[in-house]
Structure 1
Amino acid sequence: MLKRRRYKQSKTLKERLADEAARLREEAQSLAPGRRREILLRRARQDETAMQIESWLHSPGLRAPT
């Protein structure tokens, strides 16, 4: 049986997603309009959406069903 490698993240998920989205947008700006640029922008939007969902899930307004 393989042992799972554990890795302690130094940044929060939100920080990692924000960094990745910024990096993808920066890379997309350096490209000419085309398929590769659209793919990078789509991935950046997906990261931003994931940040919003993560915020909603950890908001104090959510309560466990009883």
Structure 2
Amino acid sequence: MDRPKDSASFQKRLSAFAEDERKKALLLPPGPERDTALRKIRQAETASHLHDWANSPGLQSPE
């Protein structure tokens, strides 16, 4: 079963998701809902950094 290809890159989707969550968080009062939105932003940013690192040209596979 083939998975449909998304036209947006993984990096662009992560960036858009983080931006949407950031907009939501700015509108929320301090509390658990805002904390959850901020946590999702950090997770998306971490995933983006890991993706960059894993796909960097300097990374070599183990022998």
- TM-score, normalized by the shorter chain, greater than 0.5: yes
Q: So what's the TM-score if we normalise by structure 1? A: 0.88
RMSD: 1.1
Q: So what's the TM-score if we normalise by structure 2? A: 0.92
Higher helix share: 2
For structure 1, the residue ranges without an aligned partner over 5 or more in a row are: none
Amino acid at match of 2:15: A
Q: 1:33 aligns with which of 30, 33, 48?
A: 30
Between the aligned partners of 1:7 and 1:55, the Cα distance in structure 2 is: 23
Runs (4 or more) in structure 1 with deviation over 2 Å come to: none
Q: Whose radius of gyration is greater, 1 or 2? A: 1
For structure 2, the residue ranges without an aligned partner over 5 or more in a row are: none
Question: How many equivalent residue pairs?
Answer: 63
Q: Secondary structure at the match of 1:62?
A: coil
Between the aligned partners of 1:5 and 1:23, the Cα distance in structure 2 is: 29
